[in-house]
Amino acid sequence: MEITLWNIKFKNPVWTASGTFGYGIEALELYDISKLGAVVTKGISLEPRRGNEPVRIVETPCGMLNSIGLQNPGVENFLKDIYPKIKDIDTHFIANIFGETEEEYVEVCLALEEAEKIVAYELNLSCPNVKKGGIVFGQDISLMSSLVEKVKAKVKKPVIVKLSPNVSDIREFSRVCVESGADGLVLINTLMGMKIDIYKAKPVLSTVTGGLSGPAILPVAVRMVWQAYETVGDRVPIIGVGGIGKWEDAMEHIMAGASAVQVGTANFYDPFSPLKIIEGIDRFIKERNITQFTHIVGMAHRKRLK
Amino acid sequence: MIKDVEVPVLTNTKIGTNTFKMELDTGADLSGKIKPGQFLMIRTINPSDDPLIRRAFAIADVEGGKITLFYDVVGKGTKILSLVKPGEKVKILFPLGNGTFPLNYKENVLIGGGIGMAGLTLLGKELTKRGNKVTVVYGAKTKSMLSMERFLKDLFKDVYIFTEDGSAGKKGYATDILSELTGKEVIHACGPIPMLKSLYNMGHGFKIFMSFESPMACGWGVCLGCVIKSKDNSFLRVCKEGPVFEKEQVII
């Protein structure tokens, strides 16, 4: 199931999503993570961020809300303390990059240019849980465009952009993002939501709102991957993420147009799910004598035309 | 290594108004492999996505391959778990937690509030096995909530009971015991945050180790949902650096 994107060979199209897998180190206590197609790191910012006050998570119907606030050690500590532990793992890492300004995004990427294990950057323009940066870029089309252009002008590695679903028209954001130079799109980040504790008569999360993830958002994610594929699918690869817990969910994303998928919240409630999804996709393809994985990418679009 | 396995339920019995005792057969030899303070994440094998997240329970006892858990039915997840019948399977991710209780102190006081008592029983057994002295203090709101009393009295000789309304044992809080005890070195505690907080703020000379409960999505260190504030004002993961912390490490 090897795939090639941006001239990089990935063992398979199943990756773990940012913020649901740390930097891969914790998972070494569970299984051999070199079986994964790639690991997308927890968001990395220029300076360390302590994250939001608890309460940070709460379960909701078929999903959960989170408001972690991008807790991370900052790029310098990442390179010093974490990178040495992952640099010999036999799979690719993609660094999820977060900044409060354009310059910060560029600086974090530049700091990682020499780190060979990091094969690409995923710009996080869609975290709904921080006050500055992130989603501000993801919800303002001209800010997004300018940021993507600036980063692309400075860095060598491929730049993919994780888009927010909390916008009016994902097609327009997809188109402008690609025209600004993005090498690929990642859809979707969490949907903004909230939960109220009726006995305390107050919001559960310390930040009031949080990001909804889990099986509840699968149909929204599939729809957005579908629309992005219609808009820019002939120009750049689309990476599907959102609500993938089983191989069937991944297959929906792929048939909607995803060249690879990311498993997120499922890492929490079913930590071995990425491996099960790899097996499930592989079996599905073999049973149908499909010779290449790429043949099923966007397959549902072609069927619709017939 | 952390394992994710489906194991049969041996018993799942209501032992109090809201409290259940569950015994699992892991089929593995766990002797010496579970450290006091460690926990597991559990859900039924029902493929439904609702509820989604596993529940974190303390491993209250281990004998051979048998694990004993105690839990209160408080919401959807625990309600569904309470309906599981012996012979049916549940999914468990374990053992979890790196911050565990120390076993090297001679004179120990175990203070458990409500279902938090389940986080201390394995510790009590291991301390006793090593020849260390254990005084168990069990507190609850009222008599009907002292569902672990029999289990405790079967395991330990020195058990004190406190209820807030005085309906059983002494009237008051489990932490009231501290003014009566002499010659003890260390307190191990698990229970509701107000109990831990009052213990934290008391001016006494004991060393204190506390096991925390916190909303948790993964249990293995990646969701960053369960954090607690550390002395240097950063955040520590209850599931990974904890669940047991020495008083000096944290702010509550």
Residues B16 and B75 in one domain: yes
Task: Kindly give the pairing relationship between strand A196-197 and strand A191-194.
Answer: unpaired
Residue B249 lies in a domain: no
pLDDT category of residue B182 using cuts at 50, 70 and 90: confident
Residue B224 has pLDDT above 60, yes or no: yes
How many angstroms separate the CA atoms of A5 and A297, rounded? 13
Beta carbons within 10 angstroms of residue B129's beta carbon: 9
Residue A64 inside a domain? The answer is no
A105 domain-assigned: yes
Average pLDDT, chain B: 95
Residues B186 and B209 in one domain: yes
Q: Report how far residue B152's alpha carbon sits from residue B137's, in angstroms, rounded to the nearest whole number.
A: 10
* pLDDT at res. A166: 93
Q: Is residue A270 part of a domain?
A: yes
Reduce the DSSP state of residue B177 to 3 states and report it. helix
Same domain, B116 and B59: no
* Position B48 in a domain: yes
pLDDT for A239: 98
**Based on the structure, what is the number of domains in chain A?**
1
Chain B residues lying within 8 Å of A27, measured CB to CB: 220, 222
Give chain B's domain count.
2
Looking at residue A79, which CATH number applies to its domain?
A: 3.20.20.70
In a domain, A297, yes or no: yes
CB proximity A269 to B under 8 Å: yes
Residues B74 and B115 in one domain: no
Q: Is A201 part of any domain?
A: no
Closest Cβ opposite residue B215 in set A58, A63, A245: A58
Structural domain of residue B196, as residue ranges?
107-213
pLDDT, tens only, A165-175:
999 999 999 99
The reply to whether A116 touches chain B by the CB within 8 Å rule is no
Q: Give just the sign of the alpha carbon dihedral B18, B23, B26, B30.
A: positive
Is position A109 annotated as part of the catalytic site? no
Q: Are residues B126 and B203 in the same domain?
A: yes
CB atoms within 10 A of CB A30: 17
User: Which of A62, A267, A270 has the CB atom closest to B50's CB atom?
Assistant: A62
The C-alpha atoms of residue A56 and residue A73 are separated, in whole angstroms, by 18
Instruction: Let me know if residue B219 belongs to a domain.
Output: no
pLDDT of residue A305: 59
Contact A62 B227 (CB under 8 A): no
Residue B234 covered by a domain: no
User: B114 and B88: one domain?
Assistant: no
Residue B252 lies in a domain: no
Domain that holds residue A127: 3-51+69-191+214-305
**Stretch B51-57: mean pLDDT:** 97
pLDDT at A129 over 80: no
Are both B115 and B70 inside the same structural domain?
no
Q: What percentage of chain B has pLDDT greater than the value 70?
A: 100
The whole-number pLDDT of residue A247 equals 98
| Tens-place pLDDT, residues A174-200 | 999 999 999 999 999 999 999 999 999
Same domain flag for B76 and B141: no
What is the domain-level CATH number for residue B70? 2.40.30.10
Write the CA distances from A217 to A228, B19, B234, integer angstroms. 17, 34, 32
ipTM of the complex: 0.95
Answer whether residue B203 shows pLDDT above 90. no
- What is the model's pLDDT at position B179? 82
Q: Are residues B16 and B69 in the same domain?
A: yes
Contact B189, B210 (CB under 8 A): yes
Q: Is residue B243 part of a domain?
A: no
Q: What does the pLDDT look like over A197-232, one tens digit per residue?
A: 999 999 999 999 999 999 999 999 999 999 999 999
Peptide bond into B95 cis (omega under 30): yes
Percent of chain A with pLDDT over 90: 93
**What confidence score (pLDDT) does residue B79 get?**
97
Domain boundary among the residues B52, B75, B96 is at B96
Predicted TM-score of the model (pTM): 0.96
What pLDDT sits at residue B146? 95
Chain B residues near residue A271 by CB distance under 8 angstroms: 2, 4, 93, 218, 220
The CA distance from A160 to B235, in Å, is 30
Give the span between the Cα atoms of A224 and A215, in whole angstroms.
15
The pLDDT confidence band at residue A29, using thresholds 50, 70 and 90, is very high
CA B245 to chain centre: 13
- What local confidence, expressed as pLDDT, does residue B31 receive? 87
Q: Kindly state whether residues B200 and B124 are assigned to the same domain.
A: yes
Q: Note whether B167 and B204 are same-domain residues.
A: yes
